[in-house]
Amino acid sequence: MKRFLPFLIIAIVALLTVGIATAIYRAKMRPATPVAATPVPAASTPAAGASAGDAAAVATPTPEGKEDPSLHVRGPRTAPVTVEVYGDFQCPSCGHSAGIMKELEAQYHDQLRVIFYEFPLAMHQHAMEAAMAAEAAGVQGKFWEMHDLLYQYQAVWSKVSDVSQFFGSYAESIGLDVARFNADRQSPDIRQRVMSQGEAGTARGVKNTPTIFLNGNEVRAGFTRDSLQQAIEAARTPKKGS
Amino acid sequence: MAGKRKNSQAKVAGDKGAASNGARPSVVVYWIMAVVALAGLADATFLTVAHLSGDDAVCGSAVGCSTVLGSAYAAIKGIPTAAFGTVAYFTVFSLALLGAFGSAWVRKFLVLVVALMFLASCYFLYLQAFVIHAFCPYCMLSAALTFFLAGLLLVIPPAR
C-alpha cells in the first residue's frame, strides 16, 4: 500500500487541480454580469429630461458605434481608426489602458476616434456610481473630463465607502453645476443610460473590462502601449491601402 | 537462484540503510519541497485560469500586475506562460513526494526541473524589471517559491 500511496496522492492532487481550475474557469467565463446588464424594457429608455443637455437621448450604441449623437466620442468621424472601449471606472486595468489610450490619442491626433461605453461590473463596489457620475457630467457636456478624473483618482475613491464627496469635488473642479450633477447622477434616467450601454455590450459579447475594439475587431493582445500601438498601426494599414 | 535473492535482499537492505542514515533529513526536505511546490501549483494554476478567462480582477488595485499579465510575455505561442509553471510545479510536487517516500532517484530529475524553473524565474524577473517595468505580485511569489525550492534542493545530498 505504501508503495502506491505517493502515486495515489499525486493522482488526487492532479484531479483536484484540474477540477478546481475548471470550476473557477467556468465561474469566470459566465458572462460577467455588469450592473448594467439587468434586463431593461426598451420602452423605458426615455431621454434624461430637460436637464439632459448634450446627451438628451439614452445611449444606444450600435456595433459600429456610429451615428448616435449621445455616444461619448473623442476624435473626428473621419479618423481611419475607431477605438471602442467598454470600461469600468473601478477596474485597475481600465485605468491603466485609459492612460495609454490618452497617450496614443495625443500621438495619432485626428487618426484616432475613441468611443467609450459604460460597462460597470457588479464585482466593483462603486463602479455603477462612477459610471453614473460620468454620465451625469456628460449631461453638462463634460463626460471626458470626468472620465479622465475618475481614472486618475481611481485608487483614491475606490477605497472609500462613500464616494459622493469625491465625485462632487471632481465635478466642482471641472466647473460643473454641482447641484445639477448630484441630482443627475442619481436619476433613474442616467442609471437607465448606463444600463443600456452595459446591456448592449453584453449583447456584443463583452465579458470583461476593459474590452477594446479597433475598427470593430476585438483587441486580444493585451493592453500595453506597444500592443495597442501595434494594433492601431495594423488597423490603419488597410485604410491606407484603399 | 538463492544467491541472487540474497544479493537483491542485501541491495534492498543497503538502500534502506542509506535511507535511514542520511535520508531522514532528506525526507523532511522532500516533504517541505512538496508543500512549497503545492503553493506554487496553486499560484500558477490561478494565474493560468485568470489568463484564459481574461479576468483582470485578479490584480486588484495593482496596476503593475495588470501590465505584466496583459503583456506580450504573458503567453508563449498562445499558451499562458503560467501554464508552464503549473506543469513545472506539479512535476516538482510529484518528484518531491516520491522522494519523501524513499525514492532516491528523484533528486537528479528534481535538480533538472528546478534548475530550469530557476533560470525561467530569473528571466521573468529581468523582463519585469527592465522590459515591462512593472512587477506582478503573483509572479514574484512564484519566483520566490522557485528560489526556495532551489535552496532546499541544495540541502539534499546527491544519491550514491
Flag whether residue B66 sits within 8 Å of chain A, measured between CB atoms: yes
| pLDDT value, residue B118 | 96
Query: Shortest Cα distance from B151 to chain A (angstroms)?
Result: 23
Q: B56: which chain A residues are within 8 Å (Cβ-Cβ)?
A: 91-94, 208-210
* Residue of B45, B56, B65 lying closest to A17 (CB–CB): B45
Query: Shortest Cα distance from A28 to chain B (angstroms)?
Result: 6
| DSSP assignment string, B103-137 | -TTHHHHHHHHHHHHHHHHHHHHHIIIIII----H
pTM (2 d.p.): 0.51
Q: A25: which chain B residues are within 8 Å (Cβ-Cβ)?
A: 49, 52-53
- Between chains, do A6 and B62 touch, taking CB under 8 Å as contact? no
Convert the pLDDT of each residue in A198-230 to its tens digit: 999 888 888 778 888 999 888 876 677 888 888
Grid cell 448634450 is found at A54
| pLDDT value, residue B151 | 93
Q: A155: which chain B residues are within 8 Å (Cβ-Cβ)?
A: 61
Query: Shortest Cα distance from A10 to chain B (angstroms)?
Result: 6
What distance in Å separates the CA atoms of residue B28 and residue A111, rounded to the nearest whole number? 63
Q: A92: which chain B residues are within 8 Å (Cβ-Cβ)?
A: 56, 59-63, 65-66
Flag whether residue B56 sits within 8 Å of chain A, measured between CB atoms: yes
Interface probe, candidates B16, B51, B53, B135, chain A, greatest A C-beta count within 10 A: B53
Convert the pLDDT of each residue in B35-51 to its tens digit: 999 999 999 999 888 77
Q: B66: which chain A residues are within 8 Å (Cβ-Cβ)?
A: 92-93, 96, 223
Q: A29: which chain B residues are within 8 Å (Cβ-Cβ)?
A: 53
Flag whether residue B35 sits within 8 Å of chain A, measured between CB atoms: no
| pLDDT value, residue A66 | 47
Instruction: State the pLDDT confidence band at B159, using cuts at 50, 70 and 90.
Output: low
Nearest to B65 by CA among B138, B121, B146, B131: B138
Torsions phi, psi for A220 (to 5 deg) = -120, 5
Q: A23: which chain B residues are within 8 Å (Cβ-Cβ)?
A: none
Nearest to A96 by CA among A106, A112, A109, A85: A85
Interface probe, candidates B48, B49, B92, B128, chain A, greatest A C-beta count within 10 A: B49
| pLDDT value, residue A154 | 87
SS (H, E, C) B18-53: HHHHCHHHHHHHHHHHHHHHHHHHHHHHHHHHHHHH
Q: Minimal Cα distance from B101: which residue of A?
A: A6
What distance in Å separates the CA atoms of residue B93 and residue A14, rounded to the nearest whole number? 10
Does pLDDT of B6 surpass 70?
no
Burial of A19 (0-12, 13-18, 19+ CB in 10 A): exposed
Q: Minimal Cα distance from A18: which residue of B?
A: B45
ipTM entry = 0.77
Q: Minimal Cα distance from A25: which residue of B?
A: B49
| pLDDT value, residue B110 | 92
What distance in Å separates the CA atoms of residue B131 and residue B67, rounded to the nearest whole number? 11
Greater pLDDT, B68 or B154: B154
**For chain B, what is the mean pLDDT?**
79
Inter-residue contact A123 to B26 (CB < 8 Å)? no
If you average pLDDT over residues B143-158, what whole number do you get?
Answer: 90
Nearest to A138 by CA among A73, A57, A55, A61: A55
Q: Residue A40 in 3-state DSSP? A: coil
Cα distances from B53 to residues B30, B56, B72, in angstroms, run: 34, 9, 16
| pLDDT value, residue A64 | 46
| pLDDT value, residue B92 | 96
Q: Mean pLDDT per 10-residue run, chain A (242 residues)?
A: 84 92 76 42 32 34 51 88 91 86 89 92 84 94 93 84 88 92 93 91 83 86 78 74 44
